[in-house]
Amino acid sequence: MPIHARAFALLTKHQRQWSAKPLSAANIQAFQANLTKLASPRNRSCPMIVISSKLGHPEKVGLEKSRLAFLDEMQRCAQLGLTLLNFHPGSHLN
C-alpha cells in the first residue's frame, strides 16, 4: 500500500559506527534505480550523519574522528547523487 510520501530520511551507513565499507557501484545503481522507480526527487531525500559524529568535540582524537566521518558522509551522499545532509554538531561534552 503506497503512502504517497514526498520526502524521506535515510542513513548511508550504520548509525553507531565510525566507518563503513565503501559503496559499491551495484549499491549506488540500485539506490538510484529505486529513487527513479519511486519517483522520489533526490533533493527530497535527506541522509543523516551518524550519531557519534560531533563536529564540536573538545578532544583532538574525537574531533578528528568526527571530521573524517563527516567527510566520508559527504562523499557517500555525492556518490548517491544526494544534495542534502542532515547533521547535528553534537553536545559540548563538558
Average pLDDT over residues 51-76: 86
* pLDDT score, position 22: 94
Encode pLDDT of 5-32 as tens digits: 777 788 888 777 777 899 999 999 998 8
Report the share of the chain in percent with pLDDT over 90. Answer: 20
pLDDT, average across residues 61-85: 89
Instruction: Tell me the whole-structure pTM to 2 decimals.
Output: 0.81
55: amino acid identity, one letter: L
The Cβ of residue 66 has, within 10 Å, a number of other Cβ atoms equal to: 23
- Give the integer Cα–Cα distance in Å for 1 and 94: 47
Q: Of 55, 60, 70, whose CA–CA distance to 19 is shortest?
A: 70
- Of 39 and 36, the structure prediction assigns the larger pLDDT to 36
CB atoms within 10 A of CB 45: 20
Which set of grid coordinates corresponds to residue 8?
A: 524521506
Domain boundaries, the chain: 6-11+24-94
